Amino acid sequence: MNKLETKILKAIETNKLNPEILGERKWYNYFIRVTELVWSINLYDGYLIEAYTKNTVII
């Protein structure tokens, strides 16, 4: 797990990032996209969280 993944998981656990708010938004220096999954395995509570800086996908 990299530093950004750890930061996102900690933010979710401390309620600073709510994965139930779907869509795209700015979060710190990142642009994130949260998508609800119909079927999931090994993802946090059935949500796919992608983080971007400019045009690069980080997670």
The pTM for the full model equals: 0.69
pLDDT in tens, 5-41: 899 899 989 999 898 889 999 988 888 999 887 765 6
Q: How many helices (H) and strands (E) does the chain have?
A: 1, 4
Distance in angstroms (rounded) separating the CA atoms of residues 2 and 21? 23
